[in-house]
């Protein structure tokens, strides 16, 4: 069974990525771009285009229009690259404060690659598999010298080398690019592994979502996320999401006061999800640990499962996605606007913005409130970037942004660059 939420490359991208090899005619790279210092607004976006064998990274402006058709591709050979990039590469959700590009080479490769944004050269690479398939998921810098890396995989036979347990956060020294420790993630059910995935900041804590699967993915636990204190490198609190499963990261509203998490429900062997375990849940982030304030009831009302990726278009509006049926060629993903302003007094208002005829075709919603009037997402079926202008609580469809036609690979994810 393949977990569809893991097949998609990333949720939001914070930098550039490059994957795989076997590119018959790789596009000429356009090299580095200026940037590399954390700013209030991202200067540009990365668009991941891939057929899961060959990948190209396009750089786009905040409104989704192309700026550089091929920043890095599977055929690129950046200076200093010693371990070849695989076909399953992702990047951090939170832009690294250091301004460095960080590539996460996932299952089967388990390597981190730090790069310089302006020159596209490699600074260092680090093996994070420590003797097993650790399947690294997300990276977040917690200080000028320290970062956390979430490792989804759990080692069935640990004890052969340092830090080889898995199901944890690795603690990394970002000065010398080394592993200095680990933080074990909690799991009381011996049939399950914690499966730490996406991370984000909530106040001064790093919040980590635990997806809680058995080793063969036949069993799943209810949703959970934990807060980790970088001051002590320990778990500060735990929040359980009873009755919902396979949840994404916690997304934070522009004010920092409201959190939202989307749960897809239990997947079956075909990769379809049970909508009875799916919903979007809101949290009061002014309290520690965060306190659940509302479940929107979307799985039941839509009879579809919500994808784990979200974007806050404003303090009271979410851009969300639902899954189509993987076995039905005419039942595809949909993009929806979710107005949560009246959620306390009734069900949230849902408006369908776009739909596709095939499953797993819409991904990577990206909004930047206060920085851009546009919200965009990747449509791999149409090989384009869908765009809306958002103002006064309303999405207005704008013309689609064209993905570089010289490459010909479909876009599957979008995220912000520094």
Percent of the chain with pLDDT strictly greater than 90? 60
Strand-pair category, 234-245 with 251-252? unpaired
DSSP class per residue in 121-185: -EEEEEE--TTS---EEEEEE-SSSEEEEEEEEE-SS--SSTT--EEEEEEEETTTTEEEEEEEP
Cα separation of 50 and 346, whole Å?
A: 41
Cα separation of 49 and 57, whole Å?
A: 6
Residue 310 φ then ψ, to 5° = -135, 170
pLDDT value at position 206?
A: 98
Q: Residue written as tokens 């999405």?
A: 395
Cα separation of 115 and 122, whole Å?
A: 4
Cα separation of 310 and 365, whole Å?
A: 6
Cα separation of 181 and 169, whole Å?
A: 9
Number of domains in the chain: 1
**Cβ contact 384:362 at 8 Å:** no
pLDDT value at position 12?
A: 30
Taking CA atoms, 168 is separated from 138, 164, 196, 295, 302, in Å, by 11, 10, 7, 29, 35
Taking CA atoms, 338 is separated from 50, 255, 298, in Å, by 29, 18, 10
pLDDT value at position 132?
A: 96
Cα separation of 37 and 49, whole Å?
A: 25
End-to-end CA distance of the chain: 36
pLDDT value at position 35?
A: 55
Token digits of residue 320: 């969300």
DSSP state, 301? Answer: H
pLDDT value at position 23?
A: 38
Q: Return the bridge partners of 131, or none.
A: none
pLDDT tens digits, residue range 262-276? 999 998 888 889 999
373: containing domain: 4-417
Cα separation of 261 and 281, whole Å?
A: 5
- Burial pattern 285-300, b for ≥16 Cβ within 10 A else e, equals beeebbebbbbbebbe
**Cβ contact 108:87 at 8 Å:** no
**Cβ contact 272:326 at 8 Å:** yes
pLDDT value at position 261?
A: 98
Cα separation of 154 and 164, whole Å?
A: 9
Q: For residue 250, what is the domain's CATH number?
A: 2.130.10.10
Question: For residue 6, is the peptide bond before it cis, meaning its omega torsion is within 30 degrees of 0?
Answer: no
Q: Which residues of the chain have pLDDT under 50?
A: 1-26, 36-37
pLDDT value at position 345?
A: 60
Token digits of residue 404: 């570089």
DSSP class per residue in 338-388: EE-TTGGGSPPEEEEEEE-SSSS-EEEEEE-TTT-SEEEEEETTTTEEEEE
Token digits of residue 112: 């981190």
- Burial pattern 75-85, b for ≥16 Cβ within 10 A else e, equals bbebeebeeeb
């Amino acid at each position: 069974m393949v977990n569809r939420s893991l097949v998609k490359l990333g949720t939001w991208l914070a930098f550039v990525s490059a994957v795989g090899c076997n590119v018959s005619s790789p596009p000429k790279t356009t090299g580095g771009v200026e940037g590399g210092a954390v700013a209030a607004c991202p200067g540009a976006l990365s668009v991941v285009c891939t057929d899961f064998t060959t990948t190209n990274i396009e750089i786009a402006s905040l409104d989704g229009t192309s700026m550089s058709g091929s920043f890095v591709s599977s055929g690129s050979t950046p200076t200093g690259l010693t371990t070849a990039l695989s076909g399953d590469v992702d990047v951090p959700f939170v832009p690294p404060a250091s301004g460095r590009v960080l590539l996460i080479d996932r299952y089967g490769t388990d390597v981190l690659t730090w790069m310089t944004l302006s020159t596209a050269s490699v600074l260092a690479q680090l093996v994070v598999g420590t003797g097993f398939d650790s399947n690294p998921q997300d990276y977040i810098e917690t200080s000028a010298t320290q970062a956390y890396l979430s490792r989804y995989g759990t080692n069935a036979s640990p004890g052969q080398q340092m830090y080889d347990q898995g199901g944890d956060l690795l603690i990394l020294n970002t000065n010398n690019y080394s592993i200095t420790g680990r933080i074990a993630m909690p799991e009381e059910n011996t049939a399950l592994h914690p499966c730490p995935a996406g991370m984000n900041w909530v106040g001064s804590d790093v919040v980590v979502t635990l997806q809680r699967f058995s080793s063969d993915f036949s069993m799943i636990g209810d949703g959970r996320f934990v807060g980790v204190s970088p001051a002590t490198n320990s778990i500060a609190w735990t929040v359980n999401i009873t009755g919902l499963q396979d949840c994404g990261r916690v997304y934070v509203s522009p004010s920092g006061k409201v959190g939202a998490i989307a749960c897809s429900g239990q997947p079956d062997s075909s990769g379809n999800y049970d909508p009875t375990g799916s919903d979007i849940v809101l949290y009061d982030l002014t309290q520690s640990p965060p306190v659940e304030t509302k479940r929107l009831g979307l799985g039941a009302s839509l009879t579809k499962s919500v994808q784990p990726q979200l974007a806050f278009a404003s303090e009271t509006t979410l851009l969300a996605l639902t899954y189509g049926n993987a076995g039905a060629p005419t039942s595809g993903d949909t993009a929806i606007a979710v107005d949560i302003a009246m959620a306390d007094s009734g069900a949230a208002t849902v408006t369908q913005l776009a739909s596709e005829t095939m499953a797993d075709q819409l991904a990577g919603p990206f909004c930047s409130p206060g920085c851009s009037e546009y919200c965009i997402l990747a449509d791999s079926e149409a090989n384009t970037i869908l765009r809306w202008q958002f103002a006064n609580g309303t999405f207005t469809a704008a013309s689609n942004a064209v993905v570089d036609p010289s490459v010909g690979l479909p876009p599957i994810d979008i995220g912000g660059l520094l």
